[in-house]
Structure 1
Amino acid sequence: MVLDLVLIGLAIAVFPLSVTAFVLVLSTSGGVLKGLAFILAWLACFVAVLAAVLLTTGGKPPAPASAPSTASSAVKLAIGVGLVGYGWYRRRRSRRADRPAKPPGGLTARLDRISVWGAAAMGPLLQPWGLVAAGAATVVEADLSHTSSYLVLFGYCVLATSSLLAMEVYTAFAPESARLRLGKLRTWLQTHQEQALVAVSLVAGLFLVSRSIYQLTS
């Protein structure tokens, strides 16, 4: 479970669409407050999903080769196949495209007028739900009778949110430096977002497929 959650958490943390949106939120007027609202709503939704899974299982992992265990592995397999397919689709689409991506100037202007509540609503909406679902299917294996499981789940939540937290803290304590560096990050994402999406989707998808097949056949 730990290895699965580490890789899924990393994939969520660096998912290009979420990171790009958060950089845009931080670059708007009152970005630090809006970014905090984004993160709190993101975390609340994230924790709620995990809590729902743990309430369903009662904090006890299903027996190996049981119906719940098999269903959990099958869900991860389906998500992995979906991520591989999505990554392959984005790769083919980017190869066919003959125009560079348009800069999100219009989006930035619209986000500049967004309220704190609007930023909070964006947090859950922009989570990579396929990866979040894969993490939820993995958390089925958590055994809450051991303290280590709580530490693993806490670490998973922090890891999945780490990129947003790092940018938020950096912007709050070093606004001028953060403005320059996040501006460079936004420029990089504008030109490399497709490649990053393909890489994250394929790596996470292939990992989930291989792990699920192993669990289903062992």
Structure 2
Amino acid sequence: MVLDLVLIGLAVTLFPLPVMAFVLVVASPRGVRKGLVFIAAWLACLVAVIGAVVLLTGGKPPAPRSPPSTAAQVVTLVLGIGLVGYAWYRRRRVRRGAAAEPAAERVPRKAASPDGVSVRSAAALPVLLQPWGMVGAAAATVVQADLSDAGNVVALVVFCLLATSSLLAMELSVVFSPERAHRTLAGLRGWLTRHKEPAIFGLCVLLGLWLISRSLYQLAP
């Protein structure tokens, strides 16, 4: 479980779309405050998903090969296949030269108005841009968490922090070195704008294949 959560957390924090949106948020007037709102909403999504799973399981993992355990592995398998399929869908879309962007990806550009991103938008963007397929895979993994084990509790906390680490790093850089941070983040956003498709493809395929292989191994007789 721990390794799965670490890999999923890394994929979530490196996913380009939220990073690009966060750069716009912290670049707007009162960006530090709005960045904190963004991070709080981002963490709230993660905590809500994990909390819902823990409430369902009672903090105790189901017995191996039991129907709930098997269902969690099947969900993981489906999400892994979905991530790989999503990666190939985006790849084909780029090759066809599709002009229209998905609605969620147009939100950050609309937010880049002369007045910057509003506080309300800063709170809404994490919900719209959260990589929910990856978060769903984390939720299916958390089914195996045993809250009576301190190590499992630490793993859940580490996952939330790891999945938020890129945002936290950018927020801290803006707080302690604003001018340098804004130049660096502007360059980062430009780089991601040019390379986001290969990044999304690579992250989704690698994580998807990992989830598929892990779930098939667990489901094997």
TM class, shorter-chain normalised?
A: over 0.9
1:129 aligned to which of 128, 132, 157: 132
In the TM superposition, what is the alpha-carbon distance from 1:74 to its structure 2 partner? 0.4
Structure 1, unaligned runs of 5 or more: none
Residue type of the partner of 2:80? Answer: G
Superposition pairs for residues 162-177 of structure 1, below 5 Å? Answer: 162-177=165-180
1:153 matched residue in structure 2 = 156
In the TM superposition, what is the alpha-carbon distance from 1:137 to its structure 2 partner? 0.5
Alignment partners' CA distance in 2, 1:188 and 1:8: 23
Alignment partners' CA distance in 1, 2:108 and 2:64: 51
1:64 matched residue in structure 2 = 64
Alignment partners' CA distance in 2, 1:105 and 1:121: 11
In the TM superposition, what is the alpha-carbon distance from 1:108 to its structure 2 partner? 4.8
2:120 matched residue in structure 1 = 117
**CA spacing shift, 1:37–1:169, aligned 2, 3 Å:** same
1:48 matched residue in structure 2 = 48
Residue type of the partner of 2:55? Answer: L
Does 1:180 find its partner at 2:183?
Answer: yes
| Matched-pair contact (CA < 8 Å) for 1:25–1:111 | no
Superposition pairs for residues 1-218 of structure 1, below 5 Å? Answer: 1-97=1-97, 107-110=110-113, 112-218=115-221
**CA spacing shift, 1:196–1:111, aligned 2, 3 Å:** farther
Task: Describe the SS at the equivalent of 1:62.
Answer: coil
| Matched-pair contact (CA < 8 Å) for 1:13–1:160 | yes
Alignment partners' CA distance in 2, 1:61 and 1:109: 45
Q: How many residues align?
A: 216
* Percent identity over paired residues: 57
**CA spacing shift, 1:111–1:29, aligned 2, 3 Å:** same
| Matched-pair contact (CA < 8 Å) for 2:34–2:119 | yes
In the TM superposition, what is the alpha-carbon distance from 1:105 to its structure 2 partner? 9.2
In the TM superposition, what is the alpha-carbon distance from 1:110 to its structure 2 partner? 3.2
Structure 1 stretch 114-123 or stretch 124-133: which is displaced more?
A: 114-123
In the TM superposition, what is the alpha-carbon distance from 1:27 to its structure 2 partner? 1.4
Alignment partners' CA distance in 1, 2:109 and 2:141: 39
Q: TM-score, normalised by structure 2?
A: 0.92
Structure 2, unaligned runs of 5 or more: none
